[in-house]
Chains A and B, each alone.
Chain A
Amino acid sequence: MLRQVARAPRPGAPRLATPASRNSARFCFVAPLLYCSTVIRRAAAIAAARAAAALSRRLRFGGGTALPGLVAQRIHPDIVRELAAGLGAGSVLVTGTNGKTTTARLLRNILQEAGLKPVANRAGSNMMRGIAAALAAGARWDGRFRSPQERIGVFEVDEATLPHAAAVRPRAVLFTNLFRDQLDRYGEVETVAAVWRAAAREFPPDVTLVLNADDPAVAALGDVAGGPVVFFGLADRAAAGQTLDHAADARWCSGCGAELAYAAVFYGHLGHWACPQCGRSRPQVQVAGTDLEVGGQAPPITSGGQAPPITSGGQAPPSTSGGQALSLTGRGEGGPAGLRLAITTPAGGLTVRLPLTGLYNAYNAVAAAAAATALGIGPPAIERGLGRFTAAFGRQERLVVSGREVQMFLAKNPAGLNQVLRTITANGLQKDIALFLNDNIADGRDVSWIWDVDFELLSGHTRSLTVSGSRAWDMALRLKYAGLGSPGDVEPDAALALRRALQRTPEGATLYVIPTYTAMLAVRNLLGRWAGRGAFWERD
């Protein structure tokens, strides 16, 4: 009942009148009042959210992503459900441990190429308040959208928030992967899996699940799905290894508990798996990534070069020539060797080249193609959409500062960081690297996960190493065990550390910054300030 109303093409419909209609005499009197109050409250929520967004941008609070949504929800708790109902082309949810932001961004591009107008939450702002903020920012005062028929929601959703996000009534829900991540926040991996199973069971049969077949924990959601399922995965075994990481999570069969056997492992526990005991195995995929060329990093670029040399020591930040030296270059001149792959879908194949590296980004591209397929979008739009990709906030994003290129690789869990390390060291050259480990709530308070990361991969690949963040010394200790770094590499203060890391990076070379989430915000803010620019997050 509720669903039908929420789906109705009239977002302003007096839903609240339904209970009152039991008494028709009262209804005549109460309904208009309720309707009016809903309209007013909704308009107030939208207005307040916009004011909060403007204010927090002005005050440079965390990018203005959380507050507006919080305000809107406080004023009108049903704001997400009501506004999402006005998205004529429905909504897609993207969830999973790694790859949410990049996958959602890829999907957005595809949808635009298909003639749709996506409404999307900002990078990483993936709780309900982030969705509320996105909807409030995109809607008109009356809660409707301009050109509603072309409007489609693309929301990345925190793993634990998924059940609440069902309020948007998605057409498709994409699950990227499930790894151990911030156990102090999410609880055990199995806890997240249980939340997902319950959510998958609850979705109505018109919701398509888009599942990573290579992740046994995600593929198992197909067992409980009430509606259609689109499986995706990588088919190119030439790009795979044979052994699981030492701390692989889903190594046990979800059916019988036996240890899974892998014919190919792409990364973490993603691969071509089968249970030798009960015979469960990786499902047939409808959308597959083939012919992978996972490029290494490009040789150092020569930047614009007008920037004066970095001032050493003192409090002055590196000066730049009026912000000219700093630019967001998702593609970047002389960009990375990138990633090339072919994707097969039931409607035909396509080939793409992405300015991203690493197997994990091959998964992101195939995942986005699978979600688009689930929405009935054909290969041409997928190919165009993937082809015009620019890096997402902090995810292999490239900036140029004082003649050095800075490339940021957000990493917040063992599987993700292992992939980042493999990607950075792929071409065998020596690199300048800065690691930022924070333990704020958004990073995970528990830093023991760094002991599950194979920092040994960096051995022989570092020209300089700088270690920072609130848990810099924990990181330094982990690196010591990998035979890397020295006490002199540690500078807990982010600004000092970033300056030092830039000094240690030769002009024209690339500094690889590997931050946890809050450190990434701090680093980005610093780079923005030094260039005399506004906050970067406005560009998302």
Chain B
Amino acid sequence: MTKLKLRLAHLYPKHMNIYGDRGNILCLRRRCEERAIAFQADELAPGDALAADAYDMVFIGGAQDREQRRVAEDLLKVKGAALREAVEGGVTLLAVCGGYQLMGRFYRTAEGEELPGAGVLDIWTVHPGPRARRFIGNVVVKWRGATLVGFENHGGRTHLGAGVRPLGRVVAGFGNNGRDGGEGAVYKNLFGTYLHGSLLPKNPQFADHLIATALARRYGDVPLPPLDDRIESTAHAEAVRLATRRGIIGIGGRK
């Protein structure tokens, strides 16, 4: 049997790294290498070309506004077309927070300025204005019969187009827009979400789902043997408990 390898493109790590996003990469690496799957992560900066077929998975994290502008510019001019081609071709993409917003059609800032996104995903995000409430707090999401946990911190409200499904349903927290109960977005093998914390270490099932999806394109179904996830499971369960308990008294809870 050929040695399996997961090739990851980590987009803009110096710009998009605000909420411990490094943990997501560490998690993917660990969960691959413990199963003897080789893991290669290439860091791509603004200006670096992206070949649509060179990677099994792409990751983009969150950032501050200033860095996000720089990245948005690069997505438009340099990497956008290849990214669209990759996603249409079934490459797995995980986009978190600001990276999630950037995958969409546009982001309208609090001041009403409309910044074009990469247009990979049929979503759009609107910041209702400087006085609007920011969505900050612990989140629990129902996802494929299980839960995802994380922390959200965003001013923009994201809305999904017709061909896009939410990643999960909000149990505690705000989610995409605080209204329709949806969190994140799925289109083909693109997964967008507001959850950080870091997202993947505490959600090992989701991490494995991404790994399996990414490998399936080149290798077909790859069985992933279970790992020792005792600490992961406890951290996950604790996060659910804290988020839902605190939801009752309204801190970080759903209003």
Interface residues of A (CB under 8 A from B): 180, 183-184, 187-190, 246-247, 251-252, 257, 259, 439, 445-452, 470-471, 473-474, 476-478, 480-481, 487, 490
Instruction: Give, as a whole number of angstroms, the nearest-CB distance from A256 to chain B.
Output: 12
Residues of B within 8 A of A490 (CB): 234
Mark each residue of chain B from 199 to 236: 1 if its CB lies under 8 Å from any CB of chain A, else 0.
00110000000000000000000000000001110110
Judge whether A487 and B234 touch: CB under 8 Å.
yes
Contact A473 B234 (CB under 8 A): yes
Report chain A residues within 8 Å CB of B230. 487
A481-B23 in contact (CB<8A): yes
User: Do B19 and A246 touch (CB < 8 A)?
Assistant: no
Find the residue from B65, B66, B230, B232 having the highest chain A CB count within 10 A.
B66
Q: Is the CB of B242 within 8 A of A470?
A: yes
Complex Cα–Cα for A183 and B63 (A): 11
How distant is the Cα of A452 from the Cα of B202 in the complex, in angstroms? 15
On chain B, the number of residues with a Cβ less than 8 Å from chain A's Cβ atoms is: 38
Contact of B65 among A188, A247, A252 (CB under 8 A): A188
Instruction: Supply 11 A–B pairs (Cβ within 8 Å), ascending by A.
Output: A180-B18, A183-B153, A184-B136, A189-B64, A190-B64, A445-B251, A446-B197, A451-B21, A477-B202, A478-B201, A487-B230
B242 surroundings in chain A (CB, below 8 A): 439, 470
CB distance from B68 to the nearest CB of A (A): 10
B22→A476 contact, CB < 8 A: no
> Which residue of chain B has the shortest Cβ distance to A481 in the bound complex?
B26
Which of these, B13, B232, B252, contacts A477 with CB under 8 Å? B232
Q: Closest 6 interchain pairs by CB?
A: A451-B20, A451-B23, A448-B20, A473-B235, A188-B64, A448-B19
Distance in Å: Cβ of A185 to nearest Cβ of chain B: 9
Instruction: Determine whether the beta carbon of A446 is less than 8 Å from that of B19.
Output: yes
Q: Would you call A448 and B65 a contact (CB within 8 A)? A: no
- Residues in B whose Cβ lies below 8 Å from that of A189: 64
Residue in contact with B197 in the complex, picked from A187, A188, A246, A447, CB distance below 8 Å: A447
Most interface-central of A184, A251, A474, A487 (chain B CB within 10 A):
A474
The residue in chain A whose Cβ has the minimal distance to the Cβ of B195 is A448
Given contacts A474-B202, A480-B231, 16 further A-B contacts (CB under 8 A): A188-B65, A190-B66, A439-B242, A445-B137, A445-B138, A445-B251, A446-B136, A446-B151, A448-B19, A449-B19, A451-B26, A474-B197, A478-B23, A481-B23, A481-B27, A487-B230
Nearest chain A CB to B70 CB, angstrom units: 7
**Given A184-B153, A188-B64, A189-B64, A452:B20 Cβ within 8 A:** yes
Of the candidates A188, A447, A470, the one whose C-beta lies within 8 Å of that of B18 is A188
- In the complex, residue of chain B having the shortest beta-carbon distance to the beta carbon of A246: B22
Residues of A within 8 A of B138 (CB): 445
B198 within 8 A of A: yes
User: Distance (Å) between the CB of A275 and the closest chain B CB?
Assistant: 15
CB-defined contacts of B235 to chain A, threshold 8 Å: 473-474, 476-477
Return the chain B residue nearest A486 by Cβ: B231
Q: Which residue of A lies closest to B20 (CB)?
A: A451
The reply to whether B153 and A451 contact each other, CB–CB distance below 8 Å, is no
Q: Are B18 and A446 in contact (CB under 8 A)?
A: no
Beta-carbon contact of B197 and A448 below 8 Å: yes
Residues from chain A with a CB closer than 8 A to the CB of B239 are 474
**Residues of B230-255 whose CB lies within 8 A of A:** 230-232, 234-235, 238-239, 242, 251-252
What are the residues of chain B within 8 A of A480 when measuring CB–CB?
A: 231
How many Å lie between the Cα of A407 and that of B134 in the bound state? 38
- Rounded to whole angstroms, the CA-CA distance of A190 and B98 in the bound complex is 15
**How many angstroms from the CA of A351 to the CA of B20 in the assembled complex?**
40
